Amino acid sequence: MEKEELKNKIFEYMQKYKGKKKLKEKDVWKGVGEETGVPGDEVKKALREMIDVGKLMYSYGGGASSVEIPSEEYLKEKGLL
Amino acid sequence: MSKKKHETPMLDELKKGPWPSFVKEIEKAAVKSETANDTLGQVEKSYRTRRGYWKHGGIVGVLGYGGGVIGRYTSLPEEFPGVKFFHTVRINQPSGWFYTSKALREICDIWDKYGSGLTNIHGSTGDLVLLGTNTESLEAIFAEYSSRGWDLGGSGSAMRTPSCCLGPARCEWSNINTLEINYQLTQEFQDELHRPAFPYKFKIKTSGCAVDCVASIARADLSIIGTWRGKIQIDQSEVQNYAKKGMNINAEIVNMCPTQCITYDGKEMKIDDAECSRCMHCIAKMTKALRPSGERGATLLMGSKAPIVVGSLLSWVIVPFIKLEPPYKELKELIRKMIEWWDENSKPRERIGEVIEIKGMRSFLEYIGVPPSPAQVKWPRKDPFIFFKDEDFEKVFKKGKY
């Protein structure tokens, strides 16, 4: 699978769980890996590239970290919107 | 210049007396910082009403990093606008907390520019903690510090910034090079430190001996504590000097030995080294008379934590003795295996010590490839059930015992 296509699959996966479940990085590697058949390491790499450009972001609550789709406010603050 | 905005009669009480006062320090910062000024007001209000007004968490940080910034806000932004945002920034400290005055000035100058000027040197995590800035300043703060060679520390479900005692730099009792071990582990786990992917936090602290100046046994998921394998060397003439100077050797040393392996008849001190647990009590008390000898290395202990999900735990022995020499390949591989097992077996927000308690030492030891040993026994078992696997029986039959 092309990397861009994989990134789209990751984003779709994140949208599916938005507001329903706090996803850890590992949940995404596993979940997308199972859906697409792409090895977890490749999903991890693609996920992190998305985080590096603000397509996804890390979040934190109750002592635990998760990955989320960023809000408009966050993107504005980072100069990405 | 900012005038004092709030009356603080209760905080003023904390300025009295000869000891240092955090109130005095915040007041100094408040002269030029609105944030520090409103911090005083809010803390005074908290003391008066007996409740806290800080909220924490949420979505703040620098691009690409999942840790190092902890979002903090006031729940009273109209009353205390200066602390509407009061984010904490963790800076990864150097091993052993050694700084030049030039480096400290550099850190403080940047912080005065973007933050409240308040610092916590150091936080209980070990990081150099900068207290109180707003969301817009975070990227600029990170750019300024990273361009000068500093990096953010860990927070959230990640490898936390490893910390260590000052070790061989200033202490003759250090059995291992705590500074180098800490530096190597920090470099090895950079990805895990900045990209939170663990079930919960994971802390590593390294002490050069069992005096444990960084309290690793109480505060780290993995406590690395320097130890030795040889005998304790005794200088009998120095033992006599301690007695002459008024030390009650039987009360202060012999009776305080946790394994009761020391005897003293008023003339000669003897130590049964086979029974010694290397706790350092006698050595730390009689520094001129006693000294470790022989091979040096470390004991690895696991599991300590504060009481959040379940009660607090102290670390217990996993590896009784391991040689620790650069590049620490064996240690790094072992830590990766420990984390893998934890990741596979835990629920969110469970620390590794809790998971070992739930799943049992057997499963953990088998996975990381460490043989069982009596030193790993935390306390005698309380239930009479022992679960054998088929291969246990095979091993016994192969040995021809039955």
- φ/ψ of B265, rounded to 5, equals -105, 15
**What integer pLDDT is reported at residue B2 of this predicted model?**
65
Chain B contact set for A64 (CB, 8 A): 156-157, 199-200, 348-349
Q: A19 at the B interface (CB within 8 A)? A: no
Which element (helix H / strand E) includes B13? helix B9-13
**What integer pLDDT is reported at residue B59 of this predicted model?**
79
CA distances from B207 to B168, B203, B217, B248, B261 (A): 10, 13, 9, 29, 24
Q: Mutate one of A52, A57, A58 to test the B interface: name it (highest B CB count within 10 A).
A: A58
Identify the three-state secondary structure at position B190: helix
Cβ of A63 within 8 Å of Cβ of B201? The answer is yes
Identify the three-state secondary structure at position B291: strand
What is the pairing mode between strands B163-164 and B204-207?
parallel
**What integer pLDDT is reported at residue B402 of this predicted model?**
56
What is the rounded CA–CA span in Å between residue B71 and residue A64?
Answer: 13
* A61, A70, A77 ranked by CB distance to B58: nearest: A61
Chain B contact set for A74 (CB, 8 A): 59
The pTM score is 0.92
Q: Mutate one of A51, A52, A65 to test the B interface: name it (highest B CB count within 10 A).
A: A65
Chain A contact set for B135 (CB, 8 A): 77
- Residue whose structure tokens are 């999942």: B66
Which element (helix H / strand E) includes B1? none
Residue B104 CB neighbours (<10 A): 13
Classify burial at B102, counting beta carbons within 10 Å of its beta carbon; exposed 0-12, middle 13-18, buried 19 or more.
exposed
Q: What is the pLDDT of residues B43-91, one digit of tens each?
A: 999 999 999 999 987 778 899 999 999 999 999 999 999 999 999 999 9
* A26, A61, A64 ranked by CB distance to B343: nearest: A26
Classify burial at A76, counting beta carbons within 10 Å of its beta carbon; exposed 0-12, middle 13-18, buried 19 or more.
exposed
Is A7's pLDDT higher than 70? Answer: yes
How many residues would you count in chain B?
402
What is the rounded CA–CA span in Å between residue B36 and residue B31?
Answer: 8
Q: Which two tokens stand for residue B279?
A: 């706790």
With bands split at pLDDT 50, 70 and 90, how would you rate the model's confidence at A60?
A: confident
**What integer pLDDT is reported at residue B303 of this predicted model?**
93
Spell out the per-residue pLDDT of chain B, length 402, in tens: 467 889 999 999 999 999 999 999 999 999 999 999 999 999 999 999 999 999 987 778 899 999 999 999 999 999 999 999 999 999 999 999 999 999 999 999 999 999 999 999 998 889 999 999 999 999 999 999 999 999 999 999 999 999 999 999 999 999 999 999 999 999 999 999 999 999 999 999 999 999 999 999 999 999 999 999 999 999 999 999 999 999 999 999 999 999 999 999 999 999 999 999 999 999 999 999 999 999 999 999 999 988 876 788 899 999 999 999 999 999 999 999 999 999 999 998 899 999 999 998 999 999 999 999 999 998 887 777 777 888 888 887 877 655
Instruction: Report which residue type is found at B197.
Output: A
CA distances from B64 to A30, B134, B141 (A): 21, 19, 15
* A58, A62, A71 ranked by CB distance to B57: nearest: A62
The residue in chain B having the minimum alpha-carbon distance to the alpha carbon of residue A26 is: B197
Cβ of B59 within 8 Å of Cβ of A26? The answer is no
Instruction: Report which residue type is found at B343.
Output: D
Q: Are B322 and B298 in contact (CB under 8 A)?
A: yes
Round the CA-based radius of gyration of chain B to a whole number and report it: 25
The residue in chain A having the minimum alpha-carbon distance to the alpha carbon of residue B202 is: A64
Identify the three-state secondary structure at position B338: helix
- At CB < 8 Å, which residues of chain B contact A? 57-59, 61, 63-67, 70-71, 135-136, 139, 155-158, 195-197, 199-201, 308, 343, 348-349
Q: B341-373: string of b/e by CB count within 10 Å (b at 16+)?
A: bbbebbebebbbbbbbbebebeebbebbebeee
The DSSP secondary-structure symbol of A78 reads T
E-strand stretches of B175-295 = 204-207, 222-228, 233-234, 262-264, 269-271, 290-291
**What integer pLDDT is reported at residue B395 of this predicted model?**
80
Cβ of A65 within 8 Å of Cβ of B63? The answer is no
* B59, B196, B201 ranked by CB distance to A74: nearest: B59
Chain B contact set for A78 (CB, 8 A): 63, 139
Instruction: Report which residue type is found at B332.
Output: K
Cβ of B58 within 8 Å of Cβ of A78? The answer is no
Which element (helix H / strand E) includes B88? strand B87-91
What is the rounded CA–CA span in Å between residue B62 and residue B67?
Answer: 8
Instruction: Give the gap in angstroms from C-alpha A60 to the nearest C-alpha of chain B.
Output: 5
Cβ of A65 within 8 Å of Cβ of B158? The answer is yes
**A63 vs B109, more confident:** B109
Q: A54 at the B interface (CB within 8 A)? A: yes
- Taken in order B133, B139, B144, B148, is the CA torsion positive or negative? positive
What is the rounded CA–CA span in Å between residue B203 and residue B224?
Answer: 11
Q: Are B102 and B149 in contact (CB under 8 A)?
A: no
